[in-house]
Amino acid sequence: MTSLIQEPRKWICEKCTVNNNEDCGPWDATESTFEQCKRAHQTHKGWKLHLPDVSTSKPTLQDSVDLVLNAITKAEEKEKQNDILCELISLISKTVKGDEYLVRQILFNGFSAFTSKPTHLMIMEKTSEGKTYPALEIAKHFPKENVITLGSATPQSFKYEHGILVDKEYQPIQDRLDRLDEQINEVKKSKSSSDKNGVNQLENQKKSLLSDANTLIDLRNKWIIFKEPPDKTLLQGLYSTLSKDEEFNHHKFVNKSKNGGNENFTVIFRGCPAVLVCTSKDESKSARWDETFTRFNIVSPTCSRTKYSQGMELIGLTNGLPKELYEEFVLSQKEKDRITELVSKIIALIQDARGEVLNPFGDCLSKEFPQEAGHRFRQYQRFNSFLSLHCFCYSNHRPKLLIYDKKVPVITKVDVITTLEWVKDSSVIPPNKMLWFKEVFIPAHKKFGQTITFSPDNIERQVIVGSEIVKHIQEIGKGKPTTKQIRETYLETLIDHGLIERDKDPRNKTRDVYWAAEGCEENSKSSLIATSLLDESCVRSYVEKYLKGRFNFEIYQQTLTQEEVIPYILSEKNVIEEPENMPKSISNETTTGNDGTS
């Protein structure tokens, strides 16, 4: 082709796929614009020398540039329309500023309520840092019948507000009680003395029914949001339910009776809800922290000047604009409706999949996931729940395993990579304190740290005092705490967990000095698994082991063999594009690149 291009000839792209299948060109090979046109069209089937009998007007340079730019713009718009999760987060971020990480965590916590294995989220940070507002702002777009929002709740109030009376077979009895009440009232209206025995019999039936009754609270497909930490007794009663061991969980509670004594009552929880708890307390100091830590994914809001600035601007617009202008400059009613629509669409995708996925990276992930402690079991369960949810969100753009009459979504490499980015390695240290250690203590230690000698061993250490940490916090605009506050809020916990060490200051025995413990950088890492392990051999091994040549796959209604689907599984795109003129069976010769597109 090189020799032809150098000749003063004209080229044309017939039925150009970029130009709506209309002819493009001709372009003179000697002009400066030719190389741009060549790069844009030379892979098209219609790219050829322009013959004399082809009559068409010559496009300008701007025509050529516009053609390519329009094609790129259309492709980007198409991808955005298909990437419903990206669009959803983008819309929510108009009113939940500066914290995409928290937005995604809350969304996935809510979506998990519609799976067989709901997740549980605790947002922990000091007051006024944006815990409750994001949760409520997101939850209002979920179906109302699936969301339970509580400011505070005791077992008794929870029972009365959300429970129904059932018999030993878990069948509702309220209708039967109502019928008995109607019969009792009818008999009482009769003045016949012979009916008194009938009243007694009916009342005895009612007493018998109530004596065997319990309160059932159906938690299936429910998302419970506690705006404040719930009553300890209620939370303890929920713990075994959150473990998802049985469909029906019986719990006995004690409540004060009218006569001043105690009375027992039984509540039966059916199914498992997704739970979100907002707390400004340091829950790591509670007696049941170990149980909380293993059952909840614990996160903290982003605390940054940028977020505060954006939040202030939003408050100003929210309180200072009429409704019409607010909708124009912040979030329109159409956009609100779109958020609700996208939430409903993702819930439908989750339910359509019936909670089933094929994870071809499963063996590799199971072997490489940290295994040094028992809490990793539940952490790995949460990791897989997040992984499945991400796949469900894009199930229309994922390969499907064709197994009998089912089409099971297949997890791809991008699902694993995204999950590894968003599911950080859990530490028994609350995340807000770990973040403080990385973003406040370490920089302050590097900036103000001084080398001093400790006797009697004459050991030299670079240390910092509390007042210097306070000075650094003020300089970076993160408030004006006291030395006592940072010691009680952060330093004590970090010392207890071995990230910071402390000793008396040899220069002034009335104060302490602090320094980062040896190996603290390793202890504060959050990477779970190296993504380099997620390669083709990992996928092939899984497919050969479990599928054994059985079953085909499908994508965009086109059937693929097990060999042909591998490039799609290794895709690093959220939305795997449908190749143009895709044949019914895609051969290896037509699939190229790490993203698996043709």
For residue 206, is pLDDT > 50? Answer: yes
The domain boundary residue, chosen from 81, 114, 144: 81
Residue 307 pLDDT: 80
| Cβ-defined contacts of 510-518 (< 8 Å, 24+) | 511/465, 511/466, 512/465, 512/466, 513/452, 513/463, 513/464, 513/465, 514/441, 514/445, 514/463, 514/464, 514/465, 514/466, 514/469, 515/445, 515/449, 515/461, 515/462, 515/463, 515/464, 516/441, 516/442, 516/445
What is the C-alpha radius of gyration for the chain, rounded to an integer number of angstroms?
Answer: 32
Q: Is residue 110 part of a domain?
A: yes
C-alpha 598/C-alpha 590 separation (Å) is 6
C-alpha 134/C-alpha 336 separation (Å) is 15
The domain boundary residue, chosen from 523, 550, 573: 523
Lowest mean pLDDT across 61-70, 167-176, 448-457: 61-70
Q: Is residue 105 part of a domain?
A: yes
C-alpha 209/C-alpha 166 separation (Å) is 9
CATH number of the domain encompassing residue 479: 1.10.10
Q: Is residue 144 part of a domain?
A: yes
* Top-confidence residue, 61 or 438: 438
CB atoms within 10 A of CB 386: 24
Q: Does residue 72 sit in the same domain as residue 117?
A: no
C-alpha 270/C-alpha 367 separation (Å) is 34
Domain ranges, residue 490? 431-523
Q: Is residue 460 part of a domain?
A: yes
Q: What's the pLDDT band for 445 if we cut at 50, 70, 90?
A: very high
Tens of pLDDT, residue by residue over 541-571, are 999 999 988 899 999 889 999 999 999 999 9
Q: Does residue 166 sit in the same domain as residue 68?
A: no
The string of DSSP codes covering 400-450 is EEEETTEEEEB--HHHHHHHHHHSPPP-SS-HHHHHHIIIIIHHHHHHH-E
Q: Is residue 187 part of a domain?
A: no
% of residues, the chain, pLDDT over 70: 78
pTM (predicted TM-score) = 0.68
Q: Does residue 108 sit in the same domain as residue 72?
A: no
CATH number of the domain encompassing residue 251: 3.40.50.300
For residue 182, is pLDDT > 80? Answer: yes
Q: Does residue 238 sit in the same domain as residue 288?
A: yes
Q: Does residue 36 sit in the same domain as residue 166?
A: no
**Cα within 13 Å of Cα(317), Cβ side:** 16
Q: Does residue 69 sit in the same domain as residue 12?
A: yes
* Top-confidence residue, 255 or 417: 417
Residue from 93, 34, 87, 102 nearest 64 by CA: 34
Q: Is residue 387 part of a domain?
A: no
Q: Is residue 16 part of a domain?
A: yes
Q: Does residue 69 sit in the same domain as residue 130?
A: no
Lowest mean pLDDT across 75-84, 193-202, 251-260: 75-84
Q: Is residue 396 part of a domain?
A: no
The domain boundary residue, chosen from 495, 523, 551: 523
| Total domains, the chain | 3
For residue 289, is pLDDT > 90? Answer: no
Q: Does residue 39 sit in the same domain as residue 109?
A: no
Q: 382 and 423 in contact (C-beta within 8 Å)? A: yes
Q: Does residue 36 sit in the same domain as residue 138?
A: no
The string of DSSP codes covering 465-531 is EHHHHHHHHHHTTS----HHHHIIIIIHHHHHTTSEEEEEETTEEEEEEEEEPTTHHHHT----S-G
User: Could you tell me the sign of the dihedral formed by the alpha carbons of 202, 205, 211, 215, in that order?
Assistant: negative
C-alpha 28/C-alpha 208 separation (Å) is 97
C-alpha 521/C-alpha 500 separation (Å) is 11
Q: Does residue 23 sit in the same domain as residue 110?
A: no
Q: Does residue 59 sit in the same domain as residue 110?
A: no
Tens of pLDDT, residue by residue over 1-18, are 333 334 456 778 877 766
Q: Does residue 109 sit in the same domain as residue 52?
A: no
